[in-house]
Amino acid sequence: MPYSDLEHEGRIRRHGLTPDETRQRIAELLALADRDLEDAAISQRPADGRHNSAYEAARSIADAVMVAEGYRRLGGEGQHKVLFDFLARVGTGMFARRAAYFDKARRLRNKTKYDKAGIVSSSMAAGILKNAREFRAEVQEWLASAHPELVDLEP
């Protein structure tokens, strides 16, 4: 099982939600992501804020993947890192490149949130927004294929 070491290390566990609860949680996470993608596209916002909103969208999307796979992160330090570690293992590693990209963005987000403002360029903010939008579309396709029972397939 690709997640057994994360589970054994106490970084993740089975979420125990019913299929209806799982479907609802995925919908909530994707709605949060859509809201953050909209915020990230507001050009009048500082680049740091746009970057961080796009990052938060990607985090919510990755959380939806984890929930679909039947897991949740445990509390404590490093929760975002474990999310991207998990994401890299989904399927045959289909999200590994995205996981590495967003993990790097996580480190930049931490710097802008806790250490220093103004370190994200407009092109960096545009880049993560583009990647987060693409990731959103990829995950929607993956959900429809890998877990069709968990998504509303109506347009």
Instruction: Report whether pLDDT(39) > 50.
Output: yes
Do residues 73 and 83 lie in contact, with contact meaning Cβ atoms separated by under 8 Å? yes
User: Which tokens belong to 128?
Assistant: 């993560």
Instruction: Report whether pLDDT(72) > 70.
Output: yes
pTM of the model: 0.93
Instruction: Report whether pLDDT(130) > 80.
Output: yes
How does pLDDT run across 101-114, given as a tens digit for each residue?
999 999 899 888 88
Listed in sequence order, the DSSP H helices in the chain are: 4-8, 19-40, 47-68, 79-87, 96-114, 122-146
User: Which tokens belong to 78?
Assistant: 């490093």
CA atoms within 13 A on the CB side of 58: 33
Please report the domains of the chain, with CATH numbers, ordered by start residue: 4-148 (1.20.120.330)
3-class SS letters over 30-69: HHHHHHHHHHHCCCCCCHHHHHHHHHHHHHHHHHHHHHHC
Question: Residue 2: what pLDDT?
Answer: 85
First to last CA, the chain: 34
Distance CA(50)–CA(39), nearest Å, equals 7
